[in-house]
Amino acid sequence: MQVNKFTKSRNGMYIVTLEDKTKLTIHENLILKYDILISKNISDSLKEKLLEENKKYEIYEVALSYINKKLRSSKELIKYLIKKEYPNELIDNVIELLYKEGYLNDKIYAKSLVHDRIVLSMDGPNKIKKELSDNKIDNSIIEEALEEYTKDIELERIEKIVNKQVKLNKNKGSNLLKKKINMYLINLGYNYDLINNVLNSIKISDKDLYKKEYDKLYKTLSKKYSGKKLEYKLKQKLYQKGFNINDYE
């Protein structure tokens, strides 16, 4: 069957029209490999070979479209292609080709993700590091990318979060509130030492709240207890609410 026409498609793909109007979508690498020119005859065996080898490039085009929407790690891309039930061997070939052509680049991916998390989220460096590690990014690449997330940026964010949480939790005692904020910041991926430094430097004024809670508890508990027992119960209940009675005596 003779080749009548070439029409450029996208991502290196060409639509090859044969004399019987049959159209084959073939990657340019295969066109060069098999020296397919206008007026050249394509045998049935060559046609089958082209279609078979072109499967890799069909997956390649799907992969490239997925990458073009957003930078991806190789792990994300492999997971996406496996979900589409492509053969593992062809997926591996496509991943290798994309690395070779520069469409997959772990350094660029890592730096882009760190930058986006700094600009678009309140995630701390440890959370970002885990995400990159989960995506099979090499540790040296992760460390290099995280250089953008300086201690000054991290400290500024911790202070911002702490101040916000203090304003939002005025009904909690200082001890309980600090524990809550500490856990919240650790879950966001901030460093323990920096968190503690900030929490230890702030003073939370909760004397009025303490007096209110003390009076309320005393009124209730004094109906059942007295003396040392009442004192013990008051301390216990106040501690559960985040107050250490010794701090207010």
**CATH number of the domain that residue 132 is part of:** 1.10.10.10
How many domains in the chain?
Answer: 4
Domain that holds residue 223: 207-248
Residues 97 and 118 in one domain: no
Residue 207 has pLDDT above 70, yes or no: no
Round to the nearest angstrom and report the end-to-end CA distance of the chain. 98
Residues 130 and 166 in one domain: no
Residues 66 and 126 in one domain: no
Residues 10 and 90 in one domain: yes
Among 113-127, 162-176, 182-196, the minimum mean pLDDT is found in: 162-176
Residues 7 and 92 in one domain: yes
Residues 37 and 52 in one domain: yes
Residues 116 and 89 in one domain: no
The pLDDT tens digits for 4-39 are: 888 888 778 888 898 888 888 888 888 888 888 876
Of 101, 136, 170, the residue that ends a domain is 101
pLDDT class of 239 with cuts at 50, 70, 90: confident
Residues 135 and 60 in one domain: no
Mean pLDDT score, 55-65:
90
What pLDDT was estimated at residue 1?
80
What pLDDT was estimated at residue 79?
94
Residues 127 and 216 in one domain: no
